[in-house]
A = this chain, B = another copy of it.
Amino acid sequence: MPLVEISLIEGRDADTKRRLIAEVTDAVVRTTNAPAEVVTVILHDVPKSDWGSGGVPYSLKK
């Protein structure tokens, strides 16, 4: 039942998301011995205006 939530700057295509879900699931299975069927992965697309570091959103960084 491991649950994985991944926040990403929006814009990855469907194939990248598919591979991300597959490879992160594999990593969880290898290290925790949970069977793949009980591993859930949820992705969250975050707009650049809504993700900041150092006090500045990525939409305003160069």
What is the interface of chain A, defined by CB distance below 8 A to chain B?
1-9, 12, 14, 16-28, 30-32, 36-46, 49-60
With A5-B6, A20-B27, A37-B53 already in contact, 15 other A-B pairs whose C-beta atoms are closer than 8 Å: A1-B53, A3-B3, A3-B6, A8-B32, A14-B59, A20-B32, A21-B52, A22-B56, A25-B55, A27-B27, A40-B51, A40-B52, A41-B53, A42-B46, A42-B52
- A42 neighbours in B (Cβ, 8 Å): 3, 7, 46, 50-52
**Copies of the protein in its oligomer:** 6
* Known pairs A3-B42, A37-B53, A39-B53; A24 contacts B28 (CB<8 A): yes
* Known pairs A5-B4, A9-B1; A54 contacts B27 (CB<8 A): no
